[in-house]
Each structure stands twice: as structure tokens, then as C-alpha cells.
Amino acid sequence: MKFADFICVKAIKPDLASYDKEAVVTELVESLVTAGEIKTADKDDIIAAVMKREELGSTGIGRGVAVPHTKHPSVEKLVGTVGVSVDGVDFNSLDGEKVQLFFLLISPPERPGDHLRALENISRQLRDDTFCRFLKQSKTVDDINQLLEEADNNQFAS
Amino acid sequence: MHAMSNPSCQQIVVVKNEKGLHLRPAELMARLAMQYEATVMVTKDDQSADCKNMLSVLTLGAVQGTQLGLSAEGPDAAEALSAVAELFEAGFHELDAE
């Protein structure tokens, strides 16, 4: 699975304004609403579901990366977005580091395979130091989208 | 007592839980493996990942039914290996959840 298969470019958020977990999740979900991927009526429910998942254990996977996610019946296919925080947000990550890169994923129920393939892609690409560093330094939607496209074309990880 | 040795051991495990080796299982495994001094590696085909590193484990993209090799090396290798193997056997405690 490639980034282009699930990342909604219109919802990409460089320079996140939020400084805590719930605010970041809200900002990212609202961005998907603005982009037309999620209905306004489902927004609060989705935010609550993502936060509930965080209570089970942080989705901060280390290296300044978090993958907040949930399943929701309102989406027909996996949708996601990317957010970058310049200063980082405390996300209770396993390694204790602040999170600068967020990949929010909303999956339809009963599709665990797609979610797993998205996680596989994200983690494989982020293992590359250059990709990770460039993404954290990105300032615009175009910068981020270009990096994702380059990653999709295998210019980073093997 | 004999000289310092680094025991190692290995075993085959199967991903039993329906959702595969996604984020929560990877986290549970990392937290568990971190309690041991031994290095525990999980291998799928020719790809190996350090169990203590979630990012690395997630790159395997192991779905339900996947056979994986587990290997441990270090002073408490046997204990670490059996603890991680038990987690796979229990389906990461997801079988009865949700």
C-alpha cells in the first residue's frame, strides 16, 4: 500500500497549532472534515473513538511518530492524513519522545488488512532517517506531499 | 561457574489474532521484551525486526496465520523467548476482546 492510497492531500496539516493530544486529534479530524472525507455530523464521534483508542495505550510508536486511529462505519475506505508539529506534542510515546509526525487513520470496520498494510507502509518509510527528518522539517502541504510521493516511488526505504 | 556466555534460543510462532501484528500487539510485545536483557528478534521470510522496537515490528505487516521465527540472545534469552511466544499463543489477548 502506498501513501497515495490513503492520505488525503487536501487534509495534510503542516505546522499543527495544537499542543496536547486531544487538540491534535481534533485538528487532524477537522482537517478531514474540511477536505470532505468525513461528514461534520460524524466528527465528534470519530474524535471520541480515536481518544478512546489512545486510552488503551498510546499510538506513539517512537522516533517522534504517532499513528492515532480508529474504525468508523461512516468511511467506506481507509482515509488518513498527515500532520507535522514543529515543537512536538507529548503523546505518552513508548520511548518518551515528543511527537512531531502524526498519521491519522480512519478505517471501515471489518477491514483489518488495510489498516495493517497502511501501518506497514508508514513504519517502513519512517525507518529511513532522511525521510523522517525531511518530513519533520516540512513547512507546506506541497513539501509534505512531494515527500510522500517520493516515498511512494521508493526513493527512501528499500 | 563457567565464563560469561550468551545463551540463545529460537522457536516458530504463528500470528493467531484476527487483526494481525498491528499497533497494539507490537506495543505489548515491545513493553514485554523491554523487561528482559536479551535481544529478541522476530523474523518473517528474510525480514527481521527487534521486538523492542515497535516501528521495526510493524514493518513486517504480519497478518493472521503468518508464521514467524522468534529468536533470543542474552543472559535471560530462554525466559524472554517464552514470554514473547506466550503472547503470540494468547493472540495478544485480543481473541476475547471487543
Q: Is the pLDDT of residue B45 over 50?
A: yes
Of A71, A97, A69, the residue nearest A85 (C-alpha)? A97
Q: Is B59 in Cβ contact with A61 (below 8 Å)?
A: no
B19 interfaces chain A, CB cutoff of 8 Å: yes
A112 interfaces chain B, CB cutoff of 8 Å: yes
CATH of the domain spanning B2-93:
3.30.1340.10
E strand or H helix at B30, and its extent? helix B23-33
Q: For residue B52, what is its C-alpha cell?
A: 523492542
Q: Is A57 in Cβ contact with B19 (below 8 Å)?
A: no
A3-153 is classed CATH 1.10.20.10: no
Rounded to a whole number, what is the distance in Å from the CA of A103 to chain B's nearest CA?
13
Q: How far apart are the C-alpha atoms of A143 and A145, rounded to whole Å?
A: 6
Closest by Cβ to B63, choosing from A56, A116, A126? A116
The rounded average pLDDT for each run of 10 residues, N- to C-terminus, in chain A (158 residues) is 96 96 98 97 97 93 94 95 97 92 95 90 92 95 96 82
- C-alpha distance from residue A103 to each of A28, A54, B98 (Å): 9, 14, 24
Could you tell me the residue ranges of all domains in chain B? 2-93
Q: How far apart are the C-alpha atoms of B25 and B31, rounded to whole Å?
A: 10
Question: Any residues with CB less than 8 A from the CB of A14 and at least 6 apart, and which?
Answer: A83, A84, A138, A139, A140, A141, A143, A144
Strand order in the sheet with B67-73: B8-14, B67-73, B39-44, B47-50
The predicted pLDDT at position A156 comes to 83
